């Protein structure tokens, strides 16, 4: 079943030199699966996620021929209806818990907020749900963590809190925008593991946005490769070696391997990429 279908999505920012299109006619659909979106900085991958969440405000402009989520047209949805969807039916894990968690609100209260906005549960019931969510992201001592402030927990723990906050309402779609880039390498796998587990167990759709091709290949069913606001290639997770677009090939070639004997890693040949367009 299709959760989200997007056709010809465009995001445009005004500038002194005229409008700049950062997403140039993107089309894709997402079911209850794990979709990876890969691309370099400025390729428009984050903008795509934010456009779906309806988070792009003025002065930018978002247009699409079709943008449907669970049968609802997102394009002209009034802000109040969009708000009812956000946090409840779709949610987004942001990059760095150091910045994405409010520094002066207790962790438990921040998680409980989603329940406060979308349900009629009383404080006691909300608290039970919060502890449940913290347990779901494998936090051993949920009572203590719920009372703590974000600066008192580590980055890996913070990101688990963020995930708990985003799954507490059991949404249908979760967008994860570079969820591990700010974390220590040692906890990345763990965080992705937790996320993956929740997504599969609850049958959610996941949109994993990252610049790390290999990571996305490992955790997703399907990969979209973005370059300069466009999808240049769509691959099944196992078909990485079959990639044909010069950008994807260039990215793959620049990754060091353990059995390496190349004295220099190749860099992307931008001129060739321009010619291929």
How would DSSP label each residue in 43-106?
A: SSHHHHHHHHTT---TT-EEE-SEEEETTEE-TT--HHHHHHHBTTTEEEE-S-HHHHS-TTS-
Nearer to other proteins among residue 129 and residue 222 (C-beta) = 129
Residue 154 sits in the site that holds other proteins (CB under 8 A): no
Nearer to other proteins among residue 46 and residue 228 (C-beta) = 46
CA dist., res. 166 & res. 160, Å (int): 10
Site for other proteins in 122-151 (CB under 8 A): 149, 151
| Angle subtended at Cα 136 by Cα 185 and Cα 192, rounded to the nearest 5 degrees | 25
Site for other proteins in 245-274 (CB under 8 A): none
Instruction: Tell me if 180 sits within 8 A of 191, measured CB to CB.
Output: yes
CA dist., res. 136 & res. 75, Å (int): 33
Piece of 6-14, 111-119, 249-257, 261-269 that binds other proteins (CB under 8 A): 111-119
The residues pairing with 173 across neighbouring beta strands, listed in sequence order, are: 90, 205
Residue 12 sits in the site that holds other proteins (CB under 8 A): no
- What would you report as the CA-atom Rg of the chain, rounded to the nearest whole angstrom? 20
Residue of 6, 22, 37, 53 that binds other proteins (CB under 8 A): 53
Site for other proteins in 164-223 (CB under 8 A): 165-166
Residue 52 sits in the site that holds other proteins (CB under 8 A): no
Nearer to other proteins among residue 64 and residue 101 (C-beta) = 101
Residue of 34, 118, 129, 222 that binds other proteins (CB under 8 A): 118
Which residues of this chain interact with other proteins, rule CB under 8 A? 53, 55, 83-88, 91-92, 94-96, 99-105, 113-114, 117-118, 149, 151, 162, 165-166
């Amino acid at each position: 079943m299709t959760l989200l279908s997007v056709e010809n999505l465009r995001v445009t920012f005004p500038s002194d030199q005229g409008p700049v299109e950062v997403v140039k006619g993107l089309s894709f659909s997402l079911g209850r699966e794990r979709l990876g979106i890969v691309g370099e900085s400025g390729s428009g991958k984050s903008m795509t996620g934010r456009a779906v969440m309806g988070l792009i405000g003025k002065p930018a402009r978002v247009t699409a021929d079709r943008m449907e989520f669970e049968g609802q047209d997102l394009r002209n949805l009034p802000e109040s209806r969009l708000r009812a969807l956000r946090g409840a039916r779709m949610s987004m894990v942001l990059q760095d818990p150091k910045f994405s968690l409010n520094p002066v609100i207790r962790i438990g209260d921040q998680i409980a907020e989603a329940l406060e906005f979308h349900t009629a549960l009383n404080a006691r019931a909300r608290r039970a749900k919060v502890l449940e969510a913290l347990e779901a992201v494998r936090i051993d001592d949920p009572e203590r963590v719920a009372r703590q402030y974000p600066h008192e927990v580590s980055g890996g723990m913070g990101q688990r809190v963020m995930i708990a906050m985003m799954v507490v309402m059991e949404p249908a779609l979760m967008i994860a925008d570079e969820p591990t880039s700010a974390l220590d390498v040692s906890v990345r796998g763990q965080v992705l593991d937790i996320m993956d587990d929740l997504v599969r167990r609850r049958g959610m759709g996941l949109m994993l946005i990252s610049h790390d091709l290999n990571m996305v290949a490992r955790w997703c069913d399907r990969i979209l490769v973005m370059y300069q606001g466009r999808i240049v290639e769509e691959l099944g997770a196992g078909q990485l070696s079959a990639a044909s677009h010069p950008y994807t090939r260039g990215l793959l070639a620049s990754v060091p391997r353990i059995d390496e004997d190349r004295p220099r890693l190749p860099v992307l040949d931008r001129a060739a990429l321009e010619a291929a367009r």
